[in-house]
């Protein structure tokens, strides 16, 4: 090979690496832009407010059958440095891990299909819209960290030396510490080493690479693990694997869109199923014509099958294969399999042009889905910030075990991913790390629907309600108020009030605080002639009074 040829190839490689950098930066910027209005959600709350201290159980207690010591450690470091008033540091880690996964996928692909074609899977992965939950929810750094470590282990394993094996072993430990997805990579590496042993190389002596993380994980499982496999789910395995493959194929081809009335948490399977049938038919045909299968392909197939079988056995509603949070891992495994099947292929100029056009189309589709889901997720964050803001307002009277998302709340205003948060854990956490909740000024700027939900949560936190009494106490300062247009409206400061409905007309009492409408905080009907009291406790928003509306056809006797 001449010096000129080597220099030309070096320039081409440098250009492809520069383009990879541009892809990673652009992808990370897109995800960062769509996550700019987000706050903590769902399982975030457990790591921020409820996993306090530094005991072994804090790090090792299972979360939904997963070991998540890695994410817990990351959250604790970020809380110590930045506090909890901003979600940005947490999202920055998740976005970095996404970029790292894409970069590692590129390196693995470049060794098989060349530097230019390898850009395609990296570009698809970093803005994988169907996996929006993995990209826009910082808690999913557990999934992303586990996948990044697993990809790194596969890469180091290719060195074939002791240093590479030691690194792969360490990364498999890290993968397991971030989430149970690491079990798939661990099993895949085991299969790869056993296949090498059958081919009479030194793979049998390298089994310590998987033995060490397997023993450590086994010790954790004996002490802290939780099993959730169900024998009756065995019959689900074939369909679950088929739908998982379909969902992954639909996601990486930009064909995972859903109907307008579908849940935003799931992807469509229609096109993916057609692609899966076509792919399996092609593989069957190629098998009859002498398809060459690499050892690494069996590694990927083994990892995918184990992950999908385990998910099928632990299935319950909410763990369907088309759930958004499962698409990232599925996409990585399917892309790796495609790369292995294309090993040695280099696109011609014409094929390269077609591939580039197809990639742009996929990116447009998937970024569009990411944009749409980000809007939904941002609205969810608006509710979460506002409803925790209600807890801040009621901090002097709210019960420590109060849950802003209980059955009554979700029935009225919907699910906003505040479980498993309690007021006590939230206020204790904010005292240490600062608060991500809306201030009172921010609450007043929220959309009306969000402010209505805030009033509902605040009324529950302050335990507002009518208490029937046999008669109005003597010596009260009272006045009789007649309705105008069927209602009586007044602003009420903190204190206890007594009222009596006219003898011939019932009354309905409604309240609002931050909202403009009397929608959610509605007390039971006060019967004609009935007397009752209600208390508005002093709280942290003294300049924003409760507004009381009494709907009645008769007059009201109101005392304070």
- CATH number reported for the structural domain that contains residue 518 in this entry: 2.60.120
Token pair of 385 as six digits? 């910030």
Question: Domain check: are 273 and 399 in the same one?
Answer: no
Q: Is the pLDDT of residue 511 over 90?
A: yes
Per DSSP bridges, beta strands 546-552 and 487-492 are: antiparallel
Look up the pTM and report it.
0.92
Q: Is the pLDDT of residue 13 over 60?
A: no
Average of pLDDT values for 208-231? 91
C-alpha–C-alpha distance, residues 514 and 456, integer Å: 10
Instruction: List pLDDT tens digits, range 155-170.
Output: 999 998 999 999 999 9
Question: Domain check: are 152 and 86 in the same one?
Answer: yes
**Domain count of the chain?**
3
More confident site: 406 or 304? 304
Average of pLDDT values for 251-279? 92
Question: Domain check: are 340 and 395 in the same one?
Answer: no
More confident site: 471 or 276? 276
Instruction: List pLDDT tens digits, range 65-115.
Output: 889 999 999 999 999 999 999 999 999 999 999 999 999 999 999 999 999
Question: Domain check: are 294 and 430 in the same one?
Answer: no
pLDDT level of residue 516 (50, 70, 90 thresholds): very high
pLDDT on residue 2: 52
Token pair of 40 as six digits? 């903590």
Give percent of the chain with pLDDT exceeding 70: 96
C-alpha–C-alpha distance, residues 405 and 391, integer Å: 12
Q: What is the DSSP letter of 266?
A: B
C-alpha–C-alpha distance, residues 509 and 483, integer Å: 13
Question: Domain check: are 413 and 371 in the same one?
Answer: no
Specify whether the CB–CB gap between 143 and 179 falls below 8 A: yes
The residues pairing with 548 across neighbouring beta strands, listed in sequence order, are 490, 511
Token pair of 116 as six digits? 């230019």
pLDDT on residue 408: 85
Question: Domain check: are 325 and 472 in the same one?
Answer: no
- 507 Cβ neighbours under 8 A, 6+ residues apart: 499, 501, 525, 526, 550, 551, 552, 554, 556
Tell me the residue range of the domain where 432 lies.
379-461
More confident site: 404 or 288? 404
pLDDT on residue 472: 75
Give Cα 405 to chain centroid, integer Å: 17
Question: Domain check: are 11 and 109 in the same one?
Answer: yes
Token pair of 485 as six digits? 């247009």
Question: Domain check: are 483 and 554 in the same one?
Answer: yes
Token pair of 421 as six digits? 């948060």
Q: What integer best gives the mean pLDDT of the chain?
A: 92
Average of pLDDT values for 37-52? 94
More confident site: 14 or 424? 424
Question: Domain check: are 355 and 383 in the same one?
Answer: no
The residues pairing with 405 across neighbouring beta strands, listed in sequence order, are none
pLDDT level of residue 6 (50, 70, 90 thresholds): low
Q: Is the pLDDT of residue 1 over 50?
A: no
C-alpha–C-alpha distance, residues 466 and 535, integer Å: 8
Question: Domain check: are 263 and 117 in the same one?
Answer: yes
CB burial of residue 411 (10 Å; 0-12, 13-18, 19+): exposed
Question: Domain check: are 365 and 389 in the same one?
Answer: no
Instruction: List pLDDT tens digits, range 170-208.
Output: 999 999 999 988 999 999 999 999 987 655 566 678 899
C-alpha–C-alpha distance, residues 524 and 538, integer Å: 23
End residue of a domain, out of 461, 480, 510: 461
End residue of a domain, out of 353, 378, 403: 378
Question: Domain check: are 281 and 211 in the same one?
Answer: yes
The residues pairing with 552 across neighbouring beta strands, listed in sequence order, are 507
End residue of a domain, out of 346, 378, 410: 378
C-alpha–C-alpha distance, residues 276 and 322, integer Å: 14
């Amino acid at each position: 090979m001449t010096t000129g040829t080597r220099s030309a190839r070096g320039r081409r490689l440098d250009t492809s690496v520069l383009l990879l950098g541009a892809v990673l930066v652009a992808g990370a910027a897109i995800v960062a832009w769509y996550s700019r209005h987000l706050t903590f959600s769902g399982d975030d709350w457990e790591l921020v407010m409820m996993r306090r201290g530094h005991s072994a159980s804090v790090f090792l207690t299972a979360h939904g059958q997963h070991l998540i010591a890695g994410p817990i450690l990351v959250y604790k470091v970020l809380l110590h440095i930045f506090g909890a008033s901003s979600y940005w540091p947490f999202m920055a880690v998740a976005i970095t891990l996404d970029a790292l996964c894409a970069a590692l996928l590129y390196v693995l692909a470049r060794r098989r299909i060349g530097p230019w074609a390898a850009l395609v899977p990296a570009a698809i992965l970093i803005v994988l819209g169907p996996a929006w939950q993995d990209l826009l929810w910082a808690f999913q750094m557990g999934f992303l960290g586990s996948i990044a470590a697993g990809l790194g282990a596969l890469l180091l394993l290719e060195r074939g030396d002791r240093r590479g094996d030691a690194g792969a072993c360490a990364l498999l430990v890290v993968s397991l510490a971030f989430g149970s997805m690491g079990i798939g990579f661990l099993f895949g590496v085991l299969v790869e080493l056993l296949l090498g042993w059958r081919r009479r190389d030194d793979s049998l002596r390298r089994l310590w690479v998987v033995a060490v993380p397997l023993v450590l994980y086994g010790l954790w499982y004996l002490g802290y693990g939780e099993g959730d496999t169900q024998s009756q789910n065995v019959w689900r395995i074939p369909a679950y694997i088929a739908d998982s493959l379909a969902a992954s194929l639909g996601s990486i081809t930009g064909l995972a869109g859903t109907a307008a009335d579908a849940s935003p948490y799931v992807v469509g399977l229609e096109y993916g199923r057609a692609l899966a049938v076509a792919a399996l038919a092609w593989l069957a045909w190629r098998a009859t014509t002498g398809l060459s299968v690499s050892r690494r392909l069996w590694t990927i197939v083994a990892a995918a099958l184990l992950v999908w079988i385990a998910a099928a056995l632990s299935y319950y509603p909410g763990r369907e294969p088309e759930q958004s949070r499962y698409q990232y891992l599925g996409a990585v495994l399917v892309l790796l399999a495609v790369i292995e099947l294309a090993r040695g292929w280099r696109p011609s100029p014409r094929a390269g042009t077609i591939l580039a056009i197809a990639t742009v189309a996929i990116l447009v589709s998937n970024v569009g889905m990411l944009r749409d889901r980000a809007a939904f997720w941002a609205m969810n964050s608006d509710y979460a910030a506002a409803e925790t803001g209600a807890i801040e307002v009621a901090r002097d009277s709210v019960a420590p075990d109060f849950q802003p998302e209980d059955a009554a709340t979700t029935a009225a205003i919907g699910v906003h991913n505040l479980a498993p948060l309690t007021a006590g854990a939230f206020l204790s956490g904010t005292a240490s790390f600062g608060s991500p909740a809306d201030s009172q000024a921010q609450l007043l700027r929220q959309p009306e629907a969000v402010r209505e939900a805030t009033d509902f949560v605040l009324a529950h936190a302050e335990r507002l309600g009518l208490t029937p009494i046999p008669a109005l106490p003597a010596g009260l300062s009272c006045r009789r108020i007649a309705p105008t247009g069927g209602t009586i409206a007044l602003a009420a400061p903190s204190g206890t009030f007594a009222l009596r409905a006219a003898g011939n007309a019932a009354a309905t009492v409604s309240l609002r605080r931050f909202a403009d409408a009397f929608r959610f905080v509605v007390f039971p009907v006060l019967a004609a002639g009935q007397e009752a009291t209600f208390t508005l406790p002093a709280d942290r928003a003294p300049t924003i009074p409760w507004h009381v509306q009494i709907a009645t056809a008769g007059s009201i006797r109101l005392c304070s």
